[in-house]
Structure formats: C-alpha cells, structure tokens
Amino acid sequence: AEHLRYLSRHARVPISVMPNAGLPVLTSDGAHYPLSPAELADAQEAFVRDYGVSLVGGCCGTTPEHLRQVVERVRGAAVLDRRPVSEPGASSLYGHVPFRQDTSYLAIGERTNANGSRKFREAMLEGRW
C-alpha cells in the first residue's frame, strides 16, 4: 500500500483502487488468486479509511462475493479529507523523482527500447527525434 500512501499525500485528484484478489499463484489449472472476500474487504476498507480512496473495485480473481463484501464494508464510509501537497518532479512506472537541486547536478533521461517497435528503431537510427 506504499503507493497509496504516496498518492494520498500528493495526488490532487480522487484516488481509485481496483486490485486483484491477491497476487496470482500459478497452478496446473491456471492462475489462482488467494485473497478471500473478507480479506479483500479488509484491505479496501483500510484503503478508504487510511488513504482517502474514493472509488474501490476489483480486478483479476474477484468474484461477486468479493465485491459484495467490499461494498458492504465501505458503503457509506466517509472519504478522508486529504490535503495533498504538490511536489513537482518526473515520474515513471516505478517511482517519482522530485525536482530538487542539491550539491550535484540533476540528470533526467529515458531509456528507449528499440526492440519494441521497428518504426521507432529506424527513426532513432536515422536521427528523426
């Protein structure tokens, strides 16, 4: 839930959470999602109470029973009054780097994947930025 903690402190928009019913466990019958309906409802209730999440739902592995218990648990819950503090920076899939200068220089770059797209690779090789 660390990403939700960060979003609750910094996001100026409402926060929504639609998790799987746990991390998938691969079995011979396919993916199995280990969280019970009560465990998913516990987590969603904590997200609403502790982080000010205003929209909850479910994704892979959630069943109608999972969602019934989530709704039962959070129905009518007051949304936490968040006071987010905006922190300018750059972000990626993995994290946020604030634009703060200290005694060293701040370098911002992006890795490219020329294997993902032939058109992209050709444009890069030709210098067509």
Task: Give start and end residues of each alpha helix (H) in 15-116.
Answer: 37-51, 64-74
Tens digits of per-residue pLDDT, 21-68? 999 999 999 999 999 999 999 999 999 999 999 999 999 999 999 999
Q: Are 33 and 61 in contact (CB under 8 A)?
A: yes
d(CA 10, CA 119): 37
Q: Give the helix/strand (H/E) hosting 123.
A: helix 118-125
Radius of gyration of the chain (CA): 20
> Which has more confidence, 115 or 76?
76
pLDDT at position 110, please? 67
> Which has more confidence, 37 or 80?
37
Q: Are 93 and 101 in contact (CB under 8 A)?
A: no
pLDDT at 17 exceeding the cut of 90 = yes
